[in-house]
Amino acid sequence: MKITEALVAEHRIFLSVFDQIERVLTQMTTVAEIKALASVIEGMLESHAGTETNLAYLALDHVMHEKGQLDQLHEEHHEIDASLRRVQQALDCPEARSLLQTAIEASRRHFQFEEEVVFPLLERVLQDETLAELGTTWSQRTAAMQTAV
């Protein structure tokens, strides 16, 4: 499996989780419930962002002369993280809901940009063997994290 295929598969899982969270978000009655959901999303995205940064983007960094798009992606990761952290500081349900919804929407846009722009770029500039090696590394890291838990 190529790294791009693995990352798209993770996106699909996250989008499904986001759908489920959005279905129940309006029914949440305490700030603590919303904060717990934000913590779950933050943990999932943290691992995913690390994979993107340390495998896919790092490989792309070596072949790109213009890093503006990668800088944008790194900035988006930081903005999403900051949005999720702000949920933890919310004082009431409407504020917490709004902040979590904003983070989910930003994540959806970010995934779409990666799939439409960044991953096709990776596919063009990296050899299939390199993409497959990065996919193998992703698979090994994922397996190691599962056995560590």
Residue type, 123: E
**Cα–Cα distance, 33 to 93 (Å, whole number):** 9
Buried b / exposed e along 77-94 (16+ C-beta atoms within 10 A): beebeebbebbeebeebe
Confidence of residue 64 (pLDDT cuts 50, 70, 90): low
Question: What residue numbers bound the domain in which 53 lies?
Answer: 3-148
The pLDDT tens digits of the residues spanning 89-113 come to 999 999 999 999 999 999 999 999 8
Which pLDDT value is given to residue 78? 85
3-state helix, strand, coil split of the chain in percent (to 5) is 85, 0, 15
Domains contained in the chain, number: 1
CB-based contacts of 65, cutoff 8 Å, min separation 6: none
Which pLDDT value is given to residue 62? 63
CB-based contacts of 79, cutoff 8 Å, min separation 6: 106
Which pLDDT value is given to residue 69? 63
The pLDDT tens digits of the residues spanning 12-63 come to 999 999 999 999 999 999 999 999 999 999 999 988 887 887 777 777 776 6
Which pLDDT value is given to residue 67? 56
- The tokens of 11 are what? 């996106």
pLDDT of 66 higher than 70: no
Which pLDDT value is given to residue 20? 96
**Cα–Cα distance, 71 to 13 (Å, whole number):** 25
Q: What is the three-class DSSP state of 66?
A: coil
Give the rounded distance of the alpha carbon of 113 from its chain centre. 12
